[in-house]
Chains A and B, each alone.
Chain A
Amino acid sequence: MTSSAVAPGATTSENGEPRAARRSDRARDEARLGWWLAGPAFVVMLAVTIYPILQAFYDSLFSYRLTAPSDKEFNAGQNYVVVLSDPVFWQAFLVTAVITIITVLVELVLGFFLALVMHRAIRQLRGVLRTAILVPYGIITVVSAFAWFYAFDINSGFVNHWFDWVPGIDPDLNWFAHQGTSLFVIMASEIWKTTPFISLLLLAGLSQVPGELEEAAQVDGATAWQRLQRVVLPNMKAAIMVAVLFRALDAFRIFDNVFIMTNGANGTDVLSLLAYRTSIGRLEIGLGSAISVLLFLCVIGICFVAIKLFKVDLASARGEG
């Protein structure tokens, strides 16, 4: 089963075009116009990413500290050796991976629930529910991080007081003093902020499920669970895969929440924060660039795995045709 369920809509516009007759002149004209229209966007996108990453790769080959510019020297990959042999890097890598996996899984379940709610909601409630669900999507991540941080803070927060009936929570619980509890709050805020996005992607998939199929299954006496399992989910596979991949890549870059809440204390360091601290904080451009390049390679790696192993068909899923 591939993403054929979504693909057909994608190709109609081109198939509908009578192209054979007017090749040659018209085709050349069209191609030129196409590049004139799309070219600027293409060039801008390349300029703001390809150049910097190449520069980062170049810088990563030097021992280079911004406050000691005269000591800059080529050290042929020594930075990579230092980074890759350092437990700090692997610890950050592990934490980043854990955050990515857990948040994406939770968001998938929650997001599916919200998508169902938006999909099925009776008309009177639809506007209210959609608006509520969209609010976290629109809020600045930093603001969300502060909101969650203040809520859980041992001195100013209300969570310890509201939830002191939960075993393990009492006014003396310092959420940001332990790895587990800090990560819990960091992930909760990340989930809160980004679940709307994933649920919208899933909603799109949900609306692709042919209604007749579901009705037919219902007539055949399938329970709600069976319908979900046999009809809805298989037809949404492409949407789910795309949602997971996009969220995973986004979660892997997590920075704002961690920066605000713990700044990496108690084993909550993540790769982006490590890269930031090294190149912007310590001004160790060489080492920092090496981490940046490795982070970039990780992202490429995740993409590669997703596309090759899990056969996420981005092209058709995203309507490339």
Chain B
Amino acid sequence: MRRRNRGMAATAALALALTLAACASESGPPTLTWYINPDNGGQVEIASRCTEAAEGEYRITTEVLPRDAASQREQLARRLAAKDSSIDIMSLDPPFIPELAEPGFLAPIPDDVAEAVTADVVQGAIDGATWRDELVAIPFWANTQLLWYRKSVAEKAGLDPSKEPVTWQQIMDAAAEQGKVLGVQGAKAESLTVWINALVESAGGHIIENPEAPADEVELGLESDAGRAAAEIIGTIGREGLGGAGLPTADENATMTVFQRDNGSFMVNWPFVWSATNAAVEDGTLDADLVDDIGWAIYPRVDEGTEARPPYGGINLGIGAFSAHVDFALAAAQCIVSPENQAYYFATNGNPPASTKAYDDEAVQEAFPMADVIRESLENAAPRPQTPYYNEVSTGLQETWHPPASVDPETTPTTSTDFITAVLRGEALL
């Protein structure tokens, strides 16, 4: 008797716990969950603005994703693979969109919505939201790297990047001659892929020639003049110490630190460096003179005669295919990406708009005097390879192109091609 009672009690407790865990109460207007990447509070604010604008039709709550892009993808892919209905809107890093679009994890964007959200949007952002010629995500904000330079150093080298586009060779020479350090991202992280891709694209090549191919048919374009040119630049900067001792672990933040020091010269980086540097001056950590010494221009070229293809980043909004409220989610996403919200986001969080209209906003022009250069850069920006196997490609590149000093134009393109091909065929571990 006693035995049975105890067993039943245990079962009941477990059942209760399971029910509590599984069931969420539903009342009032539907609540949309927006998975956001961490920022300075801008997306939370936009969510509440759009909740207000919906006038009781729906509410938007936010859930934050990890800091680095690869982990963001990890979290979302895991939940979507489980057909999770709690994901309504997602802030997606563009390179990972194909992987989620291919198995149908993203709800299709109706034509009328697609048309509305691509009007006046920079080309890079549209490319980054497209998979197999269909718009699968809604462009939200678009990021690009600029060339930041210390005016004193450029002047001494006889360069004026704001007037005349410079080449990688020129800035490398300038840094070497003056014993200064270049700011590039050599850490074994996504930022290294960003750099490699920008170099390969600027040299007229592509990391992947046929991004839409299935895993075992993907062809890499690294064993080309463009791939070798990229390897030459990265290898030289690494071997000759032009990136400083911190290069093999330098992410965007560390690069900025190096640039702000006395031996800073040129740096490729996202616009956040402007607000961060100004904040450090306000704290009294950096000299006010420093800000006056900083200039900006379009990303450096690889060939003198070919326009650079700067890195493209940012966030597009995906709609969860298993969401119970796809219609509301689409409406909410359209509200989120309105030019006003994009301008607000740029001015307060430093993330540039995908919409060209938002650049004309006064607050934007005031906070970011380089807004027009950013817009121009975005028009030429090249997305990273749009393939469902982006994670493998990017990690494979990081595995073979790191540390920068080990990169050799003769061998690295071949090694990395062989390695990534083997990984994609399931013949090698990553």
Contacts and interface: CB of A to CB of B under 8 A. Distances in A.
Interface of A: 36, 63, 66-69, 82-83, 86, 88-89, 153-155, 172-174, 176-177, 262-263, 265-266, 274, 277-278, 280-284, 287, 291
B1 to A, nearest CB: 14
B391 interface: yes
A172 B391 contact: no
Contact of B403 (A86, A172, A266, A284): A266
A82 B3 CA distance: 50
B81 A282 contact: no
B245 interface: yes
A68 B103 CA distance: 7
A172 B245 contact: yes
Interface stretch (B33-41, B164-172, B353-361, B421-429): B421-429
A278 B430 contact: yes
A154 B249 contact: yes
A178 to B, nearest CB: 8
B254 interface: yes
Contact of A174 (B3, B245, B392, B430): B245
Contacts of A89: 429
B77 A86 contact: no
A265 B429 contact: no
A43 B244 CA distance: 57
A66 B429 contact: no
Chain B interface extent, by class = 20 to 34
Given A174-B245, A266-B403, A282-B392, A274 B429 contact: yes
Interface string B102-145: 11010000000000000000000000000000000000000000
Contacts of B429: 82-83, 86, 88-89, 274, 278, 287, 291
B81 A69 contact: yes
B78 interface: yes
Interface string B69-84: 0100010011001000
A265 B388 CA distance: 24
Contacts of B228: none
B78 A86 contact: no
B402 interface: yes
B249 A67 contact: no
Contacts of B103: 67-69
Contacts of A83: 429
B152 interface: no
28 contacts: A36-B3, A63-B426, A66-B77, A66-B81, A67-B81, A67-B99, A67-B102, A68-B102, A68-B103, A69-B81, A69-B103, A82-B426, A89-B429, A154-B254, A155-B257, A172-B245, A174-B245, A174-B248, A176-B248, A177-B249, A265-B248, A266-B188, A266-B248, A280-B74, A280-B78, A282-B395, A283-B74, A284-B426
